[in-house]
Structure 1
Amino acid sequence: MNKQSLTSTIIFALAIIIASLLLKQGIVEFKTLDRSVAVKGLAEKEVMANTVIWPINYSLAGNDLTKLIDELEAKNQAVSAFLALHGFGDEEISVSPPNVADKLAQPYAQLEKGQMRYFVMSSITVYSHEPEKVRHALTKVTQLAKQGIAISSDRYDAKVQYIFTGLNDIKPEMIQQATEKAREVAEKFATDSKSTLGKIKSARQGQFSISDRDSNSPHIKRVRVVSSVEYYLVD
């Protein structure tokens, strides 16, 4: 073998050795990067509702429809006066047309003894950005009862709805809090496994949920979000 061939052979062998070492190192690094830990971080916050919808429903029954409508209009005026007394403006109050039911409107229908023919229901809705005004007014509804206005409260469509609309204002803070909680858990896991926490491999923000804090305080809301984060682990 001449000198040139020997040199080429040596260079070729060294290239193979270097390539093998690089390949081995790449495999080791790939396996290292493949090690990860997936954790979740929870963020919760209590907020006050900033919008309220208060349906005020009441009904009357009788056999003279004209008198019933007149009585209903008088009661609507009494309710509007009650609301104005408690600080509600005209822009916060809407009065729906009366709902009239005639029991003799159906074919072959007949009234039993003592039954009233007509049933009319009125619906007034308060939509306000001041829930405390509604909460205060609710403690005074007996004033309406003394005027013969019995407000329905057991119907599903008569429940007061307290709403929080400021989610976008608190989202960044809560996402940051949830991410920090997730990292705390990941760092504890890394320490226990004698590893070092690396970069984020993937992250997913959960949906925000808003619920009543409890059944007795629907005006206080609990906002909740869970973030899922996966971190690389490095030896």
Structure 2
Amino acid sequence: MENTKTSKSWVTALIIGLSIVASCCVIALGLSHFRSESVHTISATGSANVDFESDLIIWRGSFSAADYTSKAAYDKIKKDSAVVKNYLLANGITEDEIIFNSVDIWKTYRDIYDDNGNYIGREQDGYSLSQSVSVTSTDIDKVEKISRDISSLLETGVEFESQAPEYYYTGLDDLKLSLIEQATANARERIDIMAKNSGARVGKLRNSNLGVFQITATNSGTSSYSYDGAFDTTSRNKTASITVKLEYDLK
């Protein structure tokens, strides 16, 4: 009986010992795998940028008219609209480059005071109307010249307000793809140099991240960058840039 108890105790101790050894092996293997995963990788961020000139311009403006009745005010703005259109056509803008938006109308009021100068309310004194117009063209020089010199239009009596031109580039999608390719090649080149100088070999790609596009005025510097990506429309000459981060395994 004693021998049987002793034998069972020995088997139990053996099982416990083997379990402890197995657990230690699993933990050691996991730690080894973790160290391997965290240590044997290499990463670098590549960048690319290009200067380019806009090939599309949009110029916007608006004009207004006011009168005591809505009909009289509308007649005025309709007349002004024809004057603006003729001015644009006379300066080389084609009809398909011009868009007139719908007319906005609202009532106007004046303040009323009693004989003692106390404010007693308001009363309607007429109507005010406004209309906006935009010119979209690939002839940037022509539209820039018109936007800078509207004195002859103002001399006709049209109350015209000119906005600053907006500049765009129609080949932006192809330009972005080219920049991604260049930035990716730049990141890989940096990784190859680091691996070579450290005596390691580059393995398979583990991760890649594309940064946001920054389109800024040329020579404006990184101060014009935005966290969500900049998109400048105020400058004719622009710079586009992008970053790409690559992470590889090392052999």
Q: Give the alignment's TM-score, normalised by structure 2.
A: 0.65
Q: In the TM superposition, what whole-angstrom CA distance separates every residue of 1:91-120 from its partner, at most 9, and x where no partner exists?
A: 11122232121125xxx8415xxxx52211
Query: Partner residue of 2:114?
Result: none
Q: Is the 8 A contact 2:103 2:129 kept in 1?
A: yes
Q: Give the counterpart letter for 2:160 in structure 1.
A: I
Give 1:220's aligned residue. 237
2:172 maps to 1:167: yes
SS in 1 for 2:246: strand
Partner residue in 1 for 2:75: 70
Paired with 1:34 and 1:204, the residues of 2 have a C-alpha distance of: 20
User: 1:79 maps to what in 2?
Assistant: 84
Aligned length: 198
Unaligned runs of 5+ in 1: 1-26
Quick check: 2:206–2:249 contact (8 Å CA) kept in 1?
A: yes
- Alpha-carbon displacement from aligned partner over 1:119-155 (angstroms, at most 9, x marks no partner): 11121122223333321211222221222233324xx
**Which shows bigger deviation, 158-167 or 77-86?**
158-167
* Aligned partners of 1:39 and 1:228 also within 8 Å: yes
Match of 1:232 in 2: 249
Question: Aligned equivalents of 1:191 and 1:53: distance in 2?
Answer: 51
Q: Report which stretch shifted further, 189-198 or 219-228.
A: 189-198
Q: How does 1:3-82 map to 2 (within 5 A)?
A: 31=36, 35-82=40-87
**What is the percent sequence identity of the aligned residues?**
23
What is the Cα deviation at residue 198 of structure 1? 4.1
Q: Are residues 1:208 and 2:208 paired?
A: no
Give me the whole-angstrom Cα distance separating, in 1, the residues matched to 2:210 and 2:250: 21
Bigger relative contact order, structure 1 or 2, given CA contacts below 8 A and separation 6+?
A: 1
SS of 1:136's partner is helix
1:57-108 per-residue CA deviation (whole Å, 9 max, x = no partner) reads 011223244333222222212211221122221111122232121125xxx8
Whichever residue aligns with residue 110 of structure 1, its letter is E
Name which of 94, 100, 106 aligns with 2:99.
94
Post-superposition offset of 1:168:
2.4
| Rounded Cα–Cα distance in structure 2 between residues aligned with 1:145 and 1:132 | 21
One-letter amino acid of the counterpart of residue 138, structure 2? H
Deviation at 1:159, TM superposition (A): 4.9
The secondary structure found in structure 1 opposite 2:158 is: coil
Is there any run of 5+ residues in structure 2 with no aligned partner, and where? 1-31, 110-120, 221-231
CA distance in 2, matches of 1:151, 1:191: 65
Give the match's secondary structure for 1:152.
strand
Q: 1:150, 1:219 → 2: CA distance?
A: 28
Letter in 2 for 1:226: T
Which whole-Å deviations, capped at 9, do the CAs of 1:174-213 have from their partners, x for residues lacking one?
Answer: 1221012212322343345343444433323334343444
Secondary structure in 2 matching 1:74: helix
Please give the root-mean-square deviation of Cα atoms over the aligned residues, in Å: 3.3
Structure 1 position 135 matched with structure 2 position 144: yes
1:110-149 alignment to 2 at 5 Å? 110-111=123-124, 117-149=126-158
Which of 101, 108, 123 aligns to 1:103? It is 108
Structure 1 length-normalised TM: 0.69
Matched residue SS, 1:97: coil
